[in-house]
Amino acid sequence: MNINNQNQNNKTSTITKLIPNAITMLALCSGLTSIRYSILEEWKFAALFIILASILDFFDGWIAKKIMGGSHFGAELDNLSDIISFGVAPSILIYFWSLNDLESLGWGISLFFVICAALRLARFTTDIYLTNQPINKSKYFVGVPSPAAAGLILFTLFANFQFEYTFLKNSYLNSLILVIVGLMMISKIPTFSFKNILIKKDYVKWSILGISIISIGLISNIWLTLIIALSLYIISIVYTLINSIKKI
């Protein structure tokens, strides 16, 4: 009887540990679906599937930590998913939306962004962080992580959805953004990590209120909410960059 229970528990544990990988596969499918909608010139659907992939990417890592279901296989699968969802998919979206006016140059810049994303993920996997000063890895990433980089290069697209300014579609402007963000991914700039934030009991209610406000914003006006969130993230990058320069 005990042996049967142990076997049943082992099966349940094995199935449970597959959950993060299943979520990773969903994120991969979201990234690939975004590419499909980019080709069809359905810009909003293409952007939404990248956003969905980023949400799934957050939860697969979070669940893996909670159930201790992380593995080398899962880490490699997650990287493959990330390169598609946050490297290829957003660069393809921006290429078809804006950069194709530059023809070969636009395509080359799109490839540059994907290469930077691949290098960033390779460095993250091998845990090579060669910085001039110690960085608390529980609070900071080294360079801009690929999901955030995807959001940054889509900033003008989100702003165009919200405000409909034609200059936001300018191919030279978006080319410059892709190059800058690509370099920021492989840079040694410390950027805030929100994955390991511990919320004190006194601040739980405020955290719940903040999450509620963000959720309401995403439901009522997703593009404006994303613009505000990305703007705050850009400010945080400038803040950490200034601090790191002061320490040199």
* pLDDT digit string, tens, across residues 227-247: 999 999 999 998 888 887 776
**Span 195-224, mean pLDDT?**
76
CATH at residue 110? 1.20.120.1760
What is the reported pLDDT for 133?
Answer: 46
Task: Give the confidence band of 189 by pLDDT, cuts at 50, 70, 90.
Answer: confident
Judge whether residue 95 has pLDDT over 70: yes
109-112 long-range contacts (CB < 8 A, ≥24 apart) are 109/175, 109/178, 109/179, 110/178, 112/178, 112/179, 112/182
Amino acid identity for residue 176 in this structure: L
Q: What share of the chain is helix, strand, coil (3-state, %, to 5)?
A: 80, 0, 20
Our CA dihedral for 126, 131, 135, 140, rounded to 10 degrees, sits at -60
Judge whether residue 35 has pLDDT over 60: yes
Cα-to-chain-centroid distance, residue 233: 12
**Span 29-57, mean pLDDT?**
96
Angle between helical axes of 43-66 and 155-163 (0-180°, round to 10): 130
Query: What's the mean pLDDT when you consider all of the chain?
Result: 84
Domain of 20 in residue numbering reads as: 2-247
Considering its fold, how many domains does the chain have in total?
A: 1
pTM: 0.84
User: pLDDT exceeding 90 applies to what percent of the chain?
Assistant: 51
User: 108 is written with which tokens?
Assistant: 């080359």
Residue range 117-166, pLDDT digits in tens: 999 988 877 654 444 445 555 567 888 999 999 999 999 999 999 999 99
Cα angle for residues 93, 96, 102 (degrees, 5° grid)? 125
What is the reported pLDDT for 215?
Answer: 82
Q: List, in sequence order, every residue forming a beta bridge with 141; answer none if it has no partner.
A: 191
3-state secondary structure of 224: helix
Indicate left, alpha or beta for 125 from its phi (over 0: left) and psi (-120 to 50: alpha). Answer: alpha
Contact 146, 116 (CB under 8 A): no
What is the reported pLDDT for 70?
Answer: 60
Alpha helix stretches (DSSP H) within 83-170: 89-97, 104-126, 146-153, 155-163
What is the reported pLDDT for 78?
Answer: 85
Name the least confident of 39-43, 51-55, 217-221: 217-221
Name the least confident of 17-31, 81-95, 120-134: 120-134
Judge whether residue 81 has pLDDT over 70: yes
User: 75 is written with which tokens?
Assistant: 């880490």
Contact 50, 30 (CB under 8 A): yes
Amino acid identity for residue 120 in this structure: R
Amino acid identity for residue 219 in this structure: I
| Residue matched to tokens 């540990």 | 17
Judge whether residue 208 has pLDDT over 50: yes
